[in-house]
Amino acid sequence: MSGLFDLRILLADDLAFTDAFEAELRAKEPDVDLYRWPSLPDDGHFDVLLAWCLPDGLGRLPDSLAFVFCFGAGADQLLSDPRIPTRVPIARLVDENQAAQITDYAAHVAFARLLDQVTVKEDQARALWSEADGPRRPRDQLRVAVLGLGHIGARVASELARLGFSVQGWSRSHKSVPGVETFAGEDGLVTAVEAADVLINLLPLTAETEDILSQKLFARLSSGAYVANLGRGGHLDEAALLGALESGRVGAAWLDAFRQEPLVPDHPFWSHPRITITPHLAGIPTASGAANSLADCIDAFRRGFPLPNLVRPGRI
């Protein structure tokens, strides 16, 4: 490390290249030296690397590197990057404001299902005045399954429950979330999504969760269910989704993450009338939330405590 106070931080993410982020961070950590990639300190040494995904041109990381701070909620793209030595801990950003944005997105999809938005739009396109055959079902009769009960998933699930939806949550290991019926393990997954009207994916991408949004899973949903993939493109079996939309098992899909980003122009998802594409914007870290989260890591590091929100402990 370059010294107790002059911690050097390499910012290698566009979202961190803002004056607002720098100002927030400097207000909390006045004694840090910030470098914006591709600018580096003359001797090439830095202590902290902030990135969501390592820039292509970043070569061997210096021995001075003490930890990597993931500038995003999901760190799979860093965890699988062989350029980060396994001795280096990786912590991720936790930003309540980002979690709030993702909650809004999930609530939007739940309300869209309640209002049967797809049918309404299709009727409108045909100038069809299709009268309701009764009152709308109440929120507590709409089943919402939330996959992933980490910081963001738990917040989404509990907020939707607070709004009055019937919420089932699933995670790999058992978690309790107020107002939410929770399940864990492989058998629990099937029970959690059984007859769900809305499926929200917020899982981290791992070997176990790859392709979890599969034909088998879609088959358990209620007919016409709405699906939102707010995790990673790798969670979704794309052919299975197109098949489920075709059969009507899935009524509509909101997709925010893709196997390849940006989504290629000739991808069939773009033109599908029942798919809404959002370009990875469900929750964007905010300057203040990101700076607070990084400052918490810096403070812990300086005191010799374990970093908060570790996704890989490293070996220091």
**Which residues are annotated as catalytic?**
232, 280
Nearest C-alpha neighbor of 220 from the set 195, 246, 200: 195
Exposure pattern of 124-133 as b/e (b: 16+ CB <10 Å)? eeeeeeeeee
Does the CA dihedral 99-154-140-216 come out positive or negative? positive
Alpha helices in the chain (DSSP H): 19-28, 76-79, 96-114, 117-125, 151-162, 185-193, 215-218, 238-247, 268-271, 287-303
How many positions of this chain bind ligand OXD (CB under 6 A)?
Answer: 4
Residues 71-90 that bind ligand OXD (CB under 6 A): 72-74
Query: Which CB sits closer to ligand OXD, 166 or 209?
Result: 209
148 touches ligand OXD by CB under 6 A: no
54 touches ligand OXD by CB under 6 A: no
State the residue for tokens 């390592």.
54
- The first and second tokens of residue 88, run together, are 């280096």
Query: Which CB sits closer to ligand OXD, 244 or 291?
Result: 291
- Number of residue whose CB is nearest ligand OXD: 72
Closest CB 135 distance from ligand OXD, rounded Å: 38
Query: Which CB sits closer to ligand OXD, 53 or 107?
Result: 53
Closest CB 205 distance from ligand OXD, rounded Å: 10
- N-term to C-term CA, the chain: 13
Closest CB 30 distance from ligand OXD, rounded Å: 27
- The first and second tokens of residue 276, run together, are 């809404």
Query: Which CB sits closer to ligand OXD, 158 or 229?
Result: 229
Binding site for ligand OXD (CB under 6 A): 72-74, 283
